[in-house]
Amino acid sequence: MPVTWNRATIAGAAAIVLLGGLAAVAVVRGNGQSRTAAGSGPALEAQDPELLLPQRTKGSPDAPITIYEISDFQCPYCRQFWEETLPILEQEYIATGKARLIFVNFPIFQSHPNAPAAHEFAMCAAHQDRFWPVHDLLYKHQAAWARMEDPAPFFSLLADSANLSRERLSECLTAGRARMLVRAEYEAAWRGGVTSTPSFVIQGALLVGAAPIEQWRPILDSIYAERTGR
């Protein structure tokens, strides 16, 4: 997959990033209604518990660089990023306090029919503070579930591996809130200019593709120097 880096602020990036959180995502209310930040409803606060941002964030909230990883669990290039690049980013930038990474749901349902269910599963895992274990299991076993006619039974096995409560997982999936959140995030990112995965919004600029760490380092080092003077 070709890798592109647009250092200029991307058009519509404000539709993705707002007050350190995600904008234009649905806040599902108890009556099943939703409202969005980019529309007629009021803006969302970054701390809104419906977004589950802390549960899908790696790194310190005080890190000078914020990376939004816009990803699809069924995307092979996203798996490549997870396997080859993310571990080094964690070691060199996230663990050292230079950057934090926030996962954004972008299941490309047109070509990846099992992706929406995988993202709903991961967001329900986030309700049990197990987003990242499920995130890793979904990528690790992507080849197994991606072609299944119905991946739900396999996801139940992954839930056991991640030490999830099946009862709570079932309640979350049945409620439908995760489905609405995933769909709203997809639509918000699309409006913000994202068309493929993986894509990364880094301080308002867009990196597209599973770039190797050799391409990440100069980008992050430059932004870090700009923001910290170091």
Digits of tens for pLDDT over the chain (230 positions)?
566 655 545 544 544 543 334 544 433 333 333 333 333 333 333 445 677 889 999 999 999 999 999 999 999 999 999 999 999 999 999 999 999 999 999 999 999 999 999 999 999 999 999 999 999 999 999 999 999 999 999 999 999 999 999 999 999 999 999 999 999 889 888 887 889 999 998 988 889 999 999 999 999 999 999 999 98
Cis peptide upstream of residue 198 (ω within 30 degrees of 0): yes
- The CATH number assigned to the domain holding 134 equals 3.40.30.10
Domain membership of residue 37 (yes or no) is no
pLDDT of residue 190: 85
Domain membership of residue 166 (yes or no) is yes
The pair of structure tokens assigned to 68 is 């939004």
Place of tokens 């409560």: 165
- Structural domain span for residue 148: 73-208+221-228
Domain membership of residue 89 (yes or no) is yes
pLDDT of residue 51: 79
The pair of structure tokens assigned to 131 is 């987003």
pLDDT of residue 46: 44
pLDDT of residue 204: 80
Domain membership of residue 137 (yes or no) is yes
Q: What total of structural domains would you count in the chain?
A: 1
Phi-psi bin for 193: left (phi > 0), alpha (psi -120 to 50), beta? left
Domain membership of residue 129 (yes or no) is yes
pLDDT of residue 3: 62
Residue/partner pairs of 54-58 with CB below 8 Å, 24 or more apart: 55/126, 55/127, 55/129, 55/131, 56/102, 56/103, 56/126, 56/131, 56/132, 56/135, 57/100, 57/101, 57/102, 57/103, 58/90, 58/94, 58/100, 58/101, 58/132
CA–CA separation, 89 vs 207, rounded Å? 15
Domain membership of residue 201 (yes or no) is yes
Cβ count within 10 A of residue 150: 10
pLDDT of residue 6: 58
pLDDT of residue 21: 41
Domain membership of residue 64 (yes or no) is no
Domain membership of residue 26 (yes or no) is no
Written as one letter, the residue type at 39 is: G
pTM check: above 0.75: yes
